[in-house]
A and B are shown apart, each in its own frame.
Chain A
Amino acid sequence: MIEHITHSPRFYEYVGWAVLLLAAFNIFQVAYLLWNKARVDRSERRKDELKRLAATAVVTSLSPADLLPPPSSEEEYAAYAESIASVLDSFEGEIAERAAGLLVTFGIGAHYRKLARSRAWYKRCNAVDILAVFRLEENRDFFTELLRAEPSDDVKYRIVRGLSLIVRGAEDLGELACMLSGLPYLTPKYTEDVFYNAITRLKAAGREDDFGVFMGRIMRDDRVRTLIKRDCLTACYAAICERGRPLLKEYYAAHPGEPEILAACVRALARTGDFTLLPEALRHPDWRVRLAAIKNAHLCCEDLTPEIAALLSDPNYHLRLNAALALARAGERGLAALRAAAAGNDRFAADIAAYALEQGAA
């Protein structure tokens, strides 16, 4: 076959062309490298300059648009967007309003809304992310409409996160929960983050009660996945949602066969200072519930010393460790239990007790 190729009258002509093309391509690549580097360096300098200008203008001037050149390239839009987002993050009131006004005056919001419909999914992701950080209420309908038409789950997750930053009340929360249940489950942290954003937003608006209402509604709603309910409870814990407290006990009672929900309830209740479920949770057959309880047991464990000491022999390493540490923080009764375990025959319990005693001494 090679003879057929090499004996072809035009073989060396073709190979010669290939060599020349490769040589030319290499030279082109080097030239492109240098040109692109210079271009990006220039563009970055311009971007930094615009970001600085925009931040200063928004903070110091009543009509910042008069002091700034309107954006014309993608880099300039990105510079203004980043600058405005950080102003919106740091300021409230008049300055935040001026920053939001600039989004309209310069058509930045419109620009990213257009990009959010572009053909490449990663460009849509980026545009939705940027729109989300503006936290503009007028984007709510746009996001909802976008979500309906969006084919990519990657973009949908970002839209839902964007919506979580602008929730108004229990109705919006219900919609969020349905949207999340309609999507393939992503990660606990993602869902927790969505509800955390929502609680923070409601707290800032003085509408924390709405979260309690929402939790009550979804407790027995089969359309909302159990995992979503669990993450909602965890968000309650992270955002210290006081209004959810009465419902946490109801959730605990309503989901006896769901250890992850029980653990989330125990953690969230303890965070709000309610330890009434701890004794029961410490004896729960599932280690996740016991672990959630033991991590908070030191806060109220004078009465629970025997239960906690029993966990020093638990098959789970984390439980043994946390039980020992809880006893070390539990005053003289806890220390006495640790000393007894350290001198006992159970090697695992003895090792962990010795460690906890050392920690207690430190």
Chain B
Amino acid sequence: MTFLLWLSVHFTQYTVFFYFLAVNSVYTLLIIFALRDIIRHAHLATSRAARRQLSGEFYYKPVSIIVPAHNEGTVIVQSVKALLNLHYPEFEVIVVNDGSTDDTLEKLRREFSLEPSKKPLRLQVPHERVLGRYKSAEHPGLFVIDKVNGGKADAINAGINASAYPIFCSIDADSLLEPDALLKSSKLFLEDDELIATGGIIRVLNGCTVRNGSVTDIKLPDTSLEALQVLEYTRAFLSGRTGWNALKSLMIISGAFGVFRKDMVVAVNGYRRTVGEDMDLIMRLHRHCREKNIPYKILFVPDPVCWTQAPFTLGALRRQRNRWHRGMIDALLTNREMILNPKYGAASFLGVSYFLFVELLGPLIELFGYISVPVLWYFGLLDTRFMVMLMLLAVLWGVSINISAVVLDTYNFRRYRRNSDILRLCLLGAGEFLGYRQIMLVERLRATLTFRRTHWGAQVRKVIR
């Protein structure tokens, strides 16, 4: 009995202590890599290249923009208008109405003068039955496909079959692309034949002012719940993805905004029907290219910006995070061959390992720590001074990582111009540890227990004004 107690005390101490050290070290390293990448990017991403693309007669590749829409009646018209106003020489917009039960299709039909079209779809990737095809009488580059509900992945697959161009961009219906976002992301395809997928940064639209489909005034949202998500997105994209980018182990390109080479996506049979279709696709692309010895690159670029609505209620946020976590577990399970497999190189040992040991097992260890440390302390098995110091160190290190993400953002991109917004973000970097993080932890644990569920959950949108 005494031995068992001794063992459990030691196991707890070692696990919590080393997990804390490992995770924070990984985040710190990612920030260092990200900083290097962002400094380089600042020198290379000049306005000259974008100008050449805009003015050049043919220095571009045409792009198909695919917008899956399920019950997006509140936002769809503004989103499509914004897309039609993008600065890009040649593109088409394909809206896929994925069995909406609201007025999404009706609004599109009315606003863009849709007419039935007989254009046949290709049969390249699988999807549910198509009910109707429409083209706009006013905008020659706008097509709408009405289909039986099959989920986001299925809707994008239908869009891929309808698309005419070799590169496609998938974007959420509640998101707004900055006018030059497509230029900046598709430019990479002109400069590198090995590039197969790329994504830009997703920023939180809540709190910002939108005029004619463009974000005109960038402001931090008023509620802490939404502002905390701004911090999370900044950290996830600027330190996380930029860092993974530098390590050539990017495992996810956000479903809200990604640009892909169509032939490669078709080669892996398109999107798979799952709640984490974005991560799953990237993992399958890694696998496909590695298995077939195809030289490839999957890159994140920090300056093309896509603004998206973040959940504004705790319930909606919990549902979203639950879905993301289930999606990640499903992607890891489906692509389990990539786990610690030398065949997949850095993508396996760095990218997949991070998702497995930090994102998947992390919540379990964190919960273990939250429960065991106070229990051990209560029974006098843990030194109070040690516990306090460890917690203090953990919080300060975490705050430091959060503020570093804000530094990365303001170093080059400087979207939030008000000092008050920047200071508030820094304060929230500390505030995150007082409840928010724990709520997200609980949701991730719930998702781990129910990972087989494939339900998306209802999404609530605000009208974009």
Interface of A with B (CB < 8 Å)? 1-2, 6, 12, 15-16, 18-19, 22-23, 25-26, 29-30, 32-34, 36-37, 40, 85, 120, 122-123, 125-126, 129-130, 133, 185-190, 192-193, 196, 238-239, 317, 321, 348, 351-352, 354-355, 358
Contact = CB atoms under 8 A, between A and B. Distances in A.
Contacts of B117: 355, 358
Contacts of A23: 396
A301 B52 CA distance: 36
A317 B397 CA distance: 56
B386 A190 contact: no
Interface in B405-427: 406-407, 410-411, 414, 419, 422-423, 426
30 contacts: A1-B14, A2-B13, A18-B393, A19-B389, A19-B393, A26-B400, A26-B403, A29-B400, A29-B403, A32-B407, A33-B406, A33-B407, A33-B410, A34-B422, A37-B414, A122-B40, A122-B43, A123-B43, A126-B43, A185-B193, A189-B59, A189-B60, A189-B61, A189-B191, A192-B58, A196-B59, A238-B57, A317-B120, A317-B122, A351-B120
Contacts of B191: 186-187, 189-190
Contacts of B14: 1-2
User: Binding site of B, secondary structure by majority: helix, strand, loop or mixed?
Assistant: helix
A16 B388 CA distance: 11
A126 B44 contact: yes
B426 A16 contact: no
Contacts of B419: 34, 37
B56 interface: yes
Interface in B13-31: 13-14, 17
A211 B151 CA distance: 54
A133 B48 contact: yes
Interface in B36-61: 39-40, 43-44, 46, 48-49, 52, 56-61
A238 B59 CA distance: 10
A146 to B, nearest CB: 17
A8 B220 CA distance: 46
Contact of B410 (A2, A37, A120): A37
Nearest to A40: B414
B426 A6 contact: no
B455 interface: no
B190 A189 contact: yes
B461 to A, nearest CB: 33
Contact of B407 (A29, A186, A187, A352): A29
B13 to A, nearest CB: 5
Closest 9 CB pairs of A and B: A22-B396, A351-B120, A355-B118, A189-B190, A122-B43, A122-B40, A126-B43, A238-B58, A29-B403
A1 B385 CA distance: 17
Contacts of B392: 19
B224 to A, nearest CB: 18
Contact of B120 (A18, A30, A130, A352): A352
Contacts of A26: 396, 399-400, 403
A185 B399 CA distance: 45
A18 B122 CA distance: 61
B396 A190 contact: no
A271 to B, nearest CB: 11
A29 B403 CA distance: 7
A32 B119 CA distance: 57
Contacts of A40: 414
B148 to A, nearest CB: 20
Contacts of B407: 29, 32-33
A348 B120 contact: yes
Contacts of B393: 15, 18-19, 22
B118 A12 contact: no
Nearest to A317: B122
A187 B59 contact: no
Contacts of A321: 120
A304 B119 CA distance: 24
A314 to B, nearest CB: 13
B192 interface: yes
Contacts of A126: 43-44, 46
B120 A355 contact: yes
A37 B422 contact: yes
Contact of B190 (A15, A25, A129, A187): A187
B456 to A, nearest CB: 32
Nearest to A154: B44
Contacts of A18: 393
Contacts of B309: none
Candidate in B120, B383, B422 with the most chain A CB atoms within 10 angstroms: B120
B404 interface: yes
B200 to A, nearest CB: 20
A13 to B, nearest CB: 11
A34 B406 CA distance: 11
A29 B404 contact: yes
A186 B58 contact: no
B400 A22 contact: yes
